[in-house]
Amino acid sequence: MKVAKFGGSSVADGTQIKKIGNIIKEDTERKFIVVSAPGKRHEDDVKVTDLLLSLGESFIRQDEYQSFYEQVMERFKEIIDSLSLSEKVFEDIKRSIDDVLYGSLDHDMKIEALKAMGEDSCAKIVGQYLVSIGLKSQYINPKDAGIIVSPEPGNAQILPESYEKIYRLREREGILVIPGFFGYSEHGDLVTFSRGGSDITGSIIAAGVKAKLYENFTDVDSVYTVNPNIVKSPKEIKTLTYKEMRELSYAGFSVFHDEALIPAFKENIPVCIKNTNNPTAPGTMIVSEKEPTK
């Protein structure tokens, strides 16, 4: 069984989500799917998570929040329409966001819950889309998946007792679509990981279900020896060790969250960085040991 995590650019619009459908169809071992919130569609675009944050902050300040609210709804409506999903999917998402926004949570918890709505809504959409293309699939909430975390807003840490429950997800039928970026405290409060934390959820699920591979789908073919935005045709790196990858992450390298390697590393699960836009490219493998090369 494999865990496949799709980042923000891979779920940015309906066209990208259709690519995910093809990727999942191609390999029946891809049973656990973790998704980010819709990211930027072009350079000047705004990530849904940032829109949700602005929405929450302006609502709490009793400022003009309506335009953020509309932008969030438009993003989801557009995706749902382009995937030809039913109006019910949109209504469910809108209801969940309204419940958090107008509900009685205190300010910090409201921001936490709103921030998570990007991933949560996206997982519902992807789950329904997979059903619409003939796959057996369901959305799983992180509480139901067993992701129990410390109660530190914006910096949750996984609690060890989570893993036993996550392992039992293996028994569930079909493809499970799990939102990244958040878990629940022992008191039942929603708490988010640090920003970019959907990678962490993917790694936790991979460790918990003892996956044979954790595939992290993003928008580059591989990790390169130099920044591909600065240098043309850079050299690809085929294999990295966990240790090398962590050092790169600490140095500000942004392909993979620095905390995300730990759960996979502890269970010795190989990680593969792959491209949603070019899924046949082999990607970069991150493993515990590698043969030295010339």
Among 9, 16, 49, 162, binds ligand ASP (CB under 6 A): 49
Q: Nearest approach, Cβ of 198 to ligand ASP (angstroms)?
A: 3
Q: Pairing state of beta strands 236-237 and 223-224?
A: antiparallel
Using alpha carbons only, what angle is made at residue 214 by residues 252 and 251, rounded to the nearest 5 degrees? 10
Q: Which residue is nearest to ligand ASP (CB)?
A: 198
Rounded to the nearest angstrom, the gap between the alpha carbon of residue 60 and the centroid of all alpha carbons in its chain is 27
DSSP codes, 90-153: HHHHHHHHHHHHHS---HHHHHHHHHHHHHHHHHHHHHHHHHHTT--EEE--HHHHT-BB-S-T
The residue (of 94 and 195) whose beta carbon lies closer to ligand ASP is 195
Q: Which stretch binds ligand ASP (CB under 6 A): 10-18, 95-103, 156-164, 192-200?
A: 192-200
Give yes or no for residue 183 binding ligand ASP (CB under 6 A).
no
36 touching ligand ASP, by CB under 6 A = yes
Q: Which of the stretches 14-22, 127-135, 193-201, 212-220 binds ligand ASP when contact is defined by CB under 6 A?
A: 193-201
Exposed (0-12), middle (13-18) or buried (19+): which is 121, by Cβ within 10 Å? Answer: buried
Region near ligand ASP per CB under 6 A, out of 14-22, 25-33, 191-199, 281-289? 191-199
Closest CB 196 distance from ligand ASP, rounded Å: 5
Distance between CA atoms of residues 266 and 183, nearest Å: 20
Does residue 37 touch ligand ASP according to CB under 6 A? yes
The Cβ of residue 140 has, within 10 Å, a number of other Cβ atoms equal to 21
Is residue 181 within the footprint of ligand ASP (CB under 6 A)?
Answer: yes
Q: State which of residues 47, 110, 124, 246 lies at the interface with ligand ASP (CB under 6 A).
A: 47
Binding mask 76-115 for ligand ASP (x = CB under 6 A): ----------------------------------------
Q: Torsions phi, psi of 202, nearest 5?
A: -55, -45
Cα 97 to Cα 73: distance, rounded to the nearest angstrom: 9
98-106, 157-165, 194-202, 231-239 -> range binding ligand ASP (CB under 6 A): 194-202
Q: Is 146 in the site for ligand ASP (CB under 6 A)?
A: no
Q: Which stretch binds ligand ASP (CB under 6 A): 16-24, 77-85, 189-197, 279-287?
A: 189-197
Beta bridge partners of 158: 149
Q: Is there binding between residue 180 and ligand ASP (CB under 6 A)?
A: yes
Site for ligand ASP in 196-225 (CB under 6 A): 196-198
b or e along 72-111 (b: 16 or more beta carbons within 10 Å of the residue's beta carbon)? beebbeebbeebebeeebbebbbebbeebbeeebeeebbb
127 binds ligand ASP (CB under 6 A): no
Q: Please choose, out of 16-24, 76-84, 195-203, 212-220, the segment that lies near ligand ASP by the rule CB under 6 A.
A: 195-203
H helix intervals, the chain:
14-26, 48-60, 66-82, 87-102, 107-132, 142-145, 162-167, 198-208, 242-250, 261-266
Chain residues binding ligand ASP by CB under 6 A are 8, 36-37, 47, 49, 118, 180-181, 195-198
